[in-house]
Amino acid sequence: MQRELKFQREADAEWARRVSQRPGCEGLFSCLQCGTCSGACPLSIYMDFTPRRIIALVREGFRTDALRSKTIWLCASCYSCAVHCPRQIHITDVMYSLKREAIQHRLYPARFPVPVLAQEFYRMVGRRGRSSEFWLVLRMALRSNPLVLLGMFRTGWDLVRTGRLKLRGERVRDIASLPRELAPREVA
Amino acid sequence: MASAYGYFPGCSLKGTGVAYEESLLELFRLLDLPLAELQDWNCCGATSYMSIDESSAFQLSARNLALAHKASHADLLAPCSACYLVLRKAQDYMQKYPQVAREMGSWGNGNLRVLNQIRVRHPLEVLFTDVGPDRLRQKIVRHWHGGSVACYYGCQMVRPYGEADRDHDPVRMDELLEAAGVPTVDWSLKTKCCGGSLTGTAHQVGVRLNYILLKEAARKGAQAIVTVCPLCQYNLDAYQSEIRRDTGQRFDMPVLYFTQILGWALGGDYKSLGFPRAVAGRKTIAQWFAPARTEKEAYV
Amino acid sequence: MSDPHGAVRIGVYTCHCGSNIAATVDVKALAQFAATLPRVVLSRDYKYMCSDPGQELIRQDIRDHDLNRIVVASCSPHLHEHTFRTALKVGGLNPYYFHMVNIREQASWVHVDKAQATRKAQDLVCAAVRRVAFHQPLERGRVAIHPDVLVLGGGIAGIHAALTLANAGKHVFLVEKEPTIGGHMAKFDKTFPTLDCAACILTPKMSAVRSHPNITLWTYSEVTRVDGYVGNYKATVLRHPRYIDEDLCAGCLECLDACVYKQAKVPDEFNMRLSKRKPIYIPFPQAVPQVPVIDPETCIQFKSGKCKKTCIEACGDRHAINLRAEPEIEEIEVGTVILATGFQTFDAARIPYYGYGKYPNVYTALEVERLVNASGPTGGEVILRDGRKPQTVAIVHCVGSRDENTHRWCSRVCCMYSLKLAHLVKEHTGAEIFNFYIDMRTPGKGFEEFYQKLLNERVHFIRGRVAEVTDWELDPGEEGKLVIRAEDTLAGFVRRIPVDMVVLATGLEPRADAPEVRRLFNISCASEGFFLERHPKLAPVNTFTDGIFLAGCCQGPKDIPDTVAQAGAAAAEALALIDAGYVETEPNTAHVEEAVCCGCKTCISMCPYRAISFVNEIHKSRVNEVLCKGCGTCVAACPSGAVRQHLFEDDEIFAEIEGVLSNA
């Protein structure tokens, strides 16, 4: 039997304040908890915490719960929440900032495909300037769950026969001009 | 050419979305609108970059905008909705947030305002505003003899910046297609998310979102879906056989780009418009668009 | 050496204000310093100058020491300038020979360093002493108050205010834009929380208005021009033609039946366009006055000139119908005005997500009020536009309220009326009702109990704001229905609830013509557009324009009990003015030195109170000292320095500046 009781030492108010100062996250504390975001979100029914609950967790400072959630990775950035929100909170930006923090501190579920894809994408574009869908999906599958490749054969074949699967990766000529960051960081 | 529209293809249009590039180029050729691909463009970063590193995410856009400025493009067309949004958002946030502007630093030779002067536009809005349904109607050479279609706008083209079209019940694609004689259906899921990259990463979830779209479009009487975004097109197109396996429901629904349909109506070439690239609904596509029939029967 | 001021003899009083001042400012030293200043005859310090003994000090000293100027260094003039001026008056001195120095809010309360605070207080006292020598004796003006009152707006607020004033013996002009009084309340079926029938409690008051000898009721009328000032307003009232003479009409309504239109064709505004009326109509059966109206936009006779005019025939010997009636202009004089123009409801079509106007079975709350009302478009049956009776109904709270995308404010009445509609619809149809809310706001008397009643009636209350009303079908049970997708935040999951009928609880907003009314009467509004009260807590019915009062929702959303209370308050304020008979005007007004005025008219357009007029005969400007509020704009603007202000003359101001600098 699990016990769930939250003590105040787990609530990091200073972290909550820092989140609210990131670009796009200013409306964090004016949330009414009305739930419109969750009602509008097409993915909310799959999330462990609905968008509204994530905001509730963040502003009370429950950092670990928020960063370890699957919610932030299921966000498709469709912005339905942001346009519906009666407080005009940019919930999508809050989600992005939590994703970044989860990656920086390695708090995402291991081998969860979504953050893995993001990281492969980041590496590929960082090196070549353009992404290749084929290699991206391949690398993501190998690093999260290779078995999914088995299910992708049909789709893969469909793409090959219609000439949509490009094996050769594209690249930018002037690689040196690409933005280089040695370690990702938040915009201060 | 300085007077040409700058064209930002993005990674998808060179890969799974190649039909979009093909039909876009063909359509603009038929309309005499010059398009010039942005030289040495880099990936926009889509949702992945912003999930990892905010600063370099914005810088990717800054590089692209700086390239557009260097090439003297007043307008930069981004057909992929994700690219469109990423570029627009970078411009918006550079203006609104000093922290972001500071990070952009050296791009645009230190003058960030030039990056904001580039008008980032979606081709749907360009066709609606710069050409318009009336002018389009005058240039039609082929009469539509296919079925009704459901116009699917997706998310990122209309949200949060409702400049390309409004976010609830958008109509610009409908109006352009109707000007070409194509009947469109009224349905409520025009801007409901297709899941984007989730079909690749959270497969069951992503596929179901597309199943919902296909099902509702069919329920409202559509025989095809018309899209503006390569990822939406791919999601709706590539998984129909899997959906059939899982639910027993057979859609066989062509998922086309609006540029393909308009290009066809204006007399464009079947192959150049990318019709052979479709995965689902190939039979319907052949019936509606394939050259042998159309040239004989539908030519005005 | 002759003193240009004659024998000016100044008394300076430094107040300790307990420890409020004394703890930071060295009051004894200050009093001693003041004694050294020129023309200061005596200087005292005292614990509480505003107290009776403190004031007595002043009164006594004036007599004993022949003082002719008084300076008090204490708190803010806002608090006690009036107190001390009165003390001077009682002591036999003109009250305007007084000047007050604020060494509390401006010194002791804002500084911590004692030496510096005391130094500052000394500078201020020095300035005051120099200034007060230049003060002239001034008299307060008196403006008589005309006893008649104009009440603009004939809803429950206007009706109640008018009746209260009329019962007090005052003559009231009640001007209403619609053909009948009654306002929004006449459209309601029952009122919360008692479920009193709205018409049953309203119509007796409406009749009382009609028959009251002290009320002149002008419906279908508007005020088009207002001139004047408190106590002396002149208003022009435009009376639109009904084409039926009110005095001759007997209210039999036979003309309605006789109209050549056998079927009603015009959308009926009173029934929220859910039914139709004829071109000749009466808004509702209990309308006051009981006189129909002819709508020239839809009447055949007006449009083509070729009607059989069966209405005139039916009227017979009364000859009440006059198709050639012209608009009438009335000019009235009143002393006070009560604005009770009410509100309008938020246009639900502005939120496309809720499908109003797209899906026929999406209604606004006011439309449903008419549906459940026995004299409404469906005779009290709740029948949808497609003829069905609803089995499940959703009531969506906060439509156009608490929303940065539309209106920020909470409209205050919607939670309660949503409870009421839930009850009424359930009573009429037995349907399953779902209320979707963010918070339940039920603060008034009996309101929480009403909520409890609804909970026990098994109405569903889902705490989750509705994101969308859609016809997208996902589940077999949703066929042919409208689906509400919302997060049930309390139970903890997202739900899809198919319903037959959606009721949007639209909020209240300022009327579209509110800016016009504001311009006419020279009053302000806050950012949301409701008329601005003088003080949100202490003066909720007064405006910044003397003599003009507010009542009801034109000042902000509120329910009927609060509206009636506010209307009574506004009437009381008006009565206070009228029964006093006059208002006194502060003499710190501007005046034009005619010898210097060159007639450039710069001051006239500057005046925010329209207090300056141009006297053509002498080619000079003149200030109406009753309208003048002493803001000083014209004084500063005048290029020739012809406009001066009492109590802020140049020599007084320069003396103050010199006083501050001389202590440097």
Regarding whether C269 and C363 lie in a shared domain, the answer is no
Q: Which of C94, C152, C101 is nearest to C125 (CA)?
A: C101
Minimal C-alpha gap between C355 and chain B (Å): 10
Q: What is the mean pLDDT of residues B268-296?
A: 87
Beta-carbon separation of A129 and B42 below 8 A = yes
Local structure of A121: helix, strand or coil: helix
Beta-carbon separation of C405 and A50 below 8 A = no
**CB contact A74 to C (< 8 Å):** no
Alpha carbon distances (Å) from C302 to A28, C238, C298:
60, 21, 8
DSSP category for residue C283:
S
Q: Set out the domains of chain A in order of their start, with CATH numbers.
A: 8-104 (1.10.1060.10), 113-173 (no CATH)
Does the pLDDT at position C137 exceed 90?
yes
Regarding whether C505 and C384 lie in a shared domain, the answer is yes
Beta-carbon separation of A33 and C489 below 8 A = yes
- Torsion angle defined by CA atoms of residues C282, C285, C287 and C291, in that order, rounded to the nearest 10 degrees: 50
DSSP category for residue C356:
B
Q: Which of B154, B265, B131, B280 is nearest to B209 (CA)?
A: B154
Residue C119 CA to its chain's centroid (Å)? 45
**CB contact C654 to B (< 8 Å):** no
Beta-carbon separation of A24 and B93 below 8 A = yes
C8 forms beta bridges with: none
**Angle (CA) C517 C518 C522, round 5°:** 125
Chains A, B: CB pairs < 8 Å: 188
B257 forms beta bridges with: B227
Cβ neighbours around C285 below 10 Å, total: 10
The predicted complex's ipTM stands at 0.92
Regarding whether B219 and B82 lie in a shared domain, the answer is no
Choosing from B92, B123, B154, the residue where a domain stops is B123
Choosing from B93, B123, B153, the residue where a domain stops is B123
Beta-carbon separation of A36 and C465 below 8 A = yes
**CB contact C402 to A (< 8 Å):** yes
Alpha carbon distances (Å) from C439 to A32, B299, C341, C398, C507:
9, 62, 29, 9, 15
Choosing from B123, B150, B169, the residue where a domain stops is B123
Q: Give percent above pLDDT 70 in chain C.
A: 99
E-state strands within C177-265: 190-191, 196-197, 215-218, 221-229, 232-239
b/e per residue C302-312 (b: at least 16 CB within 10 A): eeeeebebebb
Residue-wise DSSP of B188-234: TTTT----TTHHHHSHHHHHHHHHHHHHHHHHTT-SEEEES-HHHHH
Regarding whether C591 and C473 lie in a shared domain, the answer is no
In sequence order, what are the residues at sequence separation of 6 or more whose Cβ sits closer than 8 angstroms to the Cβ of residue A56?
A31, A33
| Residue of chain C with shortest Cα separation from B188 | C472
- Domain at B93, CATH number: 1.20.1050.140
Q: Enumerate the residues of chain C whose CB falls inside 8 A of the CB of residue B192.
A: 472
Extract the tokens encoding B90.
């970078």
Minimal C-alpha gap between B135 and chain A (Å): 33
As a whole number, the mean pLDDT across chain C is: 95
Chain B positions touching chain C (beta carbons under 8 Å) = 168-169, 187-189, 192, 212, 216, 219
Regarding whether C411 and C310 lie in a shared domain, the answer is no
Local structure of C232: helix, strand or coil: strand
Regarding whether C419 and C281 lie in a shared domain, the answer is no
Q: What is the mean pLDDT of residues C30-35?
A: 96
Q: Enumerate the residues of chain C whose CB falls inside 8 A of the CB of residue A35.
A: 463-465, 486-489
* Candidates A31, A32, A33, A36, partner chain C, best to mutate (most C CBs within 10 A): A36
Q: Which of B1, B32, B47, B101 is nearest to B229 (CA)?
A: B47
Regarding whether B154 and B36 lie in a shared domain, the answer is no
Regarding whether B85 and B66 lie in a shared domain, the answer is yes
What confidence tier does C338 reach under pLDDT thresholds 50, 70, 90? very high
What confidence tier does C57 reach under pLDDT thresholds 50, 70, 90? very high
Instruction: Note the pLDDT of residue B292.
Output: 67
Pick from A39, A84, A85: CB nearest C464? A39
Pick from A24, A122, A162: CB nearest B53? A122
**CB contact C487 to A (< 8 Å):** yes
Beta-carbon separation of A179 and B16 below 8 A = no
Regarding whether C310 and C366 lie in a shared domain, the answer is no
Q: What is the mean pLDDT of residues C8-14?
A: 96
Beta-carbon separation of C472 and B168 below 8 A = no
**CB contact A167 to B (< 8 Å):** no
Regarding whether B117 and B136 lie in a shared domain, the answer is no
Regarding whether B182 and B90 lie in a shared domain, the answer is no
Domain that holds residue B89: 5-123
Regarding whether C309 and C413 lie in a shared domain, the answer is no
Residue C151 CA to its chain's centroid (Å)? 12
For residue C549, tell me if it sits in a domain: no
Regarding whether B154 and B26 lie in a shared domain, the answer is no
A39 forms beta bridges with: none
pTM for the model: 0.89
Extract the tokens encoding A173.
């000529």
Total domain count, chain C: 4
Q: Enumerate the residues of chain A whose CB falls inside 8 A of the CB of residue B62.
A: 179
Q: Which of B84, B209, B201, B54 is nearest to A99 (CA)?
A: B54
Domain that holds residue C369: 345-509
Instruction: Decide: B198 and A76 in contact? Cβ < 8 Å.
Output: yes
Does the pLDDT at position B296 exceed 70?
no
Reduced 3-state DSSP string for C147-186: CCEEEECCCHHHHHHHHHHHHCCCCEEEECCCCCCCCHHH
Pick from A39, A80, A88: CB nearest C487? A39
pLDDT tens digits along C594-623: 999 999 999 999 998 889 999 999 999 999
Residue type present at position C35:
A
Per-residue pLDDT of chain A (188 residues; tens, 9 = 90+): 999 999 999 999 999 999 999 999 999 999 999 999 999 999 999 999 999 999 999 999 999 999 999 999 999 999 999 999 999 999 999 999 999 999 999 998 888 899 999 999 999 998 899 999 999 999 999 998 888 888 888 899 999 999 999 888 888 998 888 876 544 555 54
Minimal C-alpha gap between C389 and chain A (Å): 28
Regarding whether C312 and C357 lie in a shared domain, the answer is no
Beta-carbon separation of B219 and C353 below 8 A = no
Q: Which of B220, B229, B242, B218 is nearest to B191 (CA)?
A: B229
Residue C211, Cβ density class (10 Å: 0-12 exposed, 13-18 middle, ≥19 buried) = exposed
DSSP H or E segment with residue B182 = none
Instruction: Decide: B131 and B105 in contact? Cβ < 8 Å.
Output: no
Q: Enumerate the residues of chain C whose CB falls inside 8 A of the CB of residue B188.
A: 470-472
Pick from C352, C358, C474: CB nearest B212? C474
Total domain count, chain B: 2
Beta-carbon separation of C487 and A86 below 8 A = no
Please name the chains neighbouring A, where neighbouring means 3+ C-beta pairs under 8 angstroms. B, C
Choosing from C138, C154, C186, the residue where a domain stops is C138
CA–CA separation, A163 and A74 (whole Å):
30
**CB contact A82 to B (< 8 Å):** yes
Residue C200 CA to its chain's centroid (Å)? 27
Pick from A44, A80, A86: CB nearest C465? A86
Minimal C-alpha gap between C353 and chain B (Å): 7
Extract the tokens encoding C277.
């009326």
Regarding whether B210 and B182 lie in a shared domain, the answer is yes
Q: Enumerate the residues of chain A whose CB falls inside 8 A of the CB of residue B97.
A: 23-24, 187
Q: Which of A143, A24, A19, A152 is nearest to A77 (CA)?
A: A24
Residue type present at position C650:
D
CA–CA separation, A75 and A77 (whole Å):
6
C-alpha R_g of chain B: 19
- Domain at B230, CATH number: 3.40.50.11810
Instruction: Note the pLDDT of residue A33.
Output: 97
Regarding whether B141 and B285 lie in a shared domain, the answer is yes
Beta-carbon separation of A129 and B155 below 8 A = no
Minimal C-alpha gap between A58 and chain C (Å): 17
**CB contact A71 to C (< 8 Å):** no
Minimal C-alpha gap between B137 and chain A (Å): 31
Beta-carbon separation of B189 and C353 below 8 A = no
Beta-carbon separation of C487 and A32 below 8 A = no
C487 forms beta bridges with: C494
Regarding whether C608 and C505 lie in a shared domain, the answer is no
Residue type present at position A105:
H
Instruction: Note the pLDDT of residue C263.
Output: 92
What confidence tier does B294 reach under pLDDT thresholds 50, 70, 90? very low
Local structure of C466: helix, strand or coil: coil
For residue C505, tell me if it sits in a domain: yes
pLDDT tens digits along B104-152: 767 777 778 889 999 999 999 999 999 999 999 999 999 999 999 999 9
Q: Enumerate the residues of chain B whose CB falls inside 8 A of the CB of residue C352.
A: 168-169
Instruction: Decide: A43 and A80 in contact? Cβ < 8 Å.
Output: no
The pair phi, psi for residue B212, each rounded to 5°, is -60, -45
CA–CA separation, C186 and C271 (whole Å):
11
Q: Enumerate the residues of chain A whose CB falls inside 8 A of the CB of residue B202.
A: 46, 73-74, 113-114
Regarding whether B33 and B149 lie in a shared domain, the answer is no
**CB contact A135 to B (< 8 Å):** no
Q: Give percent above pLDDT 70 in chain B.
A: 96
Instruction: Note the pLDDT of residue C141.
Output: 87
In sequence order, what are the residues at sequence separation of 6 or more whose Cβ sits closer than 8 angstroms to the Cβ of residue B275?
B19, B256, B260, B264, B285, B289, B290
Residue type present at position C299:
C
What confidence tier does C1 reach under pLDDT thresholds 50, 70, 90? very low
Regarding whether C502 and C365 lie in a shared domain, the answer is yes
Regarding whether B156 and B204 lie in a shared domain, the answer is yes
For residue C563, tell me if it sits in a domain: no
**CB contact C410 to A (< 8 Å):** no
Q: What is the mean pLDDT of residues B5-23?
A: 96
Beta-carbon separation of A151 and B203 below 8 A = yes
Beta-carbon separation of C489 and A52 below 8 A = yes
**CB contact A142 to C (< 8 Å):** no
Minimal C-alpha gap between B34 and chain C (Å): 37
For residue C359, tell me if it sits in a domain: yes
Beta-carbon separation of A34 and C468 below 8 A = no
Pick from A34, A50, A86: CB nearest C494? A50
For residue C225, tell me if it sits in a domain: no
Please name the chains neighbouring B, where neighbouring means 3+ C-beta pairs under 8 angstroms. A, C
Beta-carbon separation of B188 and C471 below 8 A = yes
Alpha carbon distances (Å) from B178 to B33, B50, C323, C373, C442:
21, 37, 50, 45, 51
End-to-end Cα separation, chain B, in angstroms: 34
Regarding whether C398 and C493 lie in a shared domain, the answer is yes
Regarding whether C28 and C129 lie in a shared domain, the answer is yes
**CB contact C466 to A (< 8 Å):** yes
Choosing from C138, C156, C173, the residue where a domain stops is C138
Residue-wise DSSP of A41-54: -TTGGG-SS-HHHH
Local structure of C363: helix, strand or coil: strand
Regarding whether B137 and B116 lie in a shared domain, the answer is no
Cβ neighbours around C144 below 10 Å, total: 11
Local structure of B272: helix, strand or coil: coil
Residue A180, Cβ density class (10 Å: 0-12 exposed, 13-18 middle, ≥19 buried) = exposed
pLDDT tens digits along C498-539: 999 999 999 999 999 999 999 999 899 999 999 999 999 999
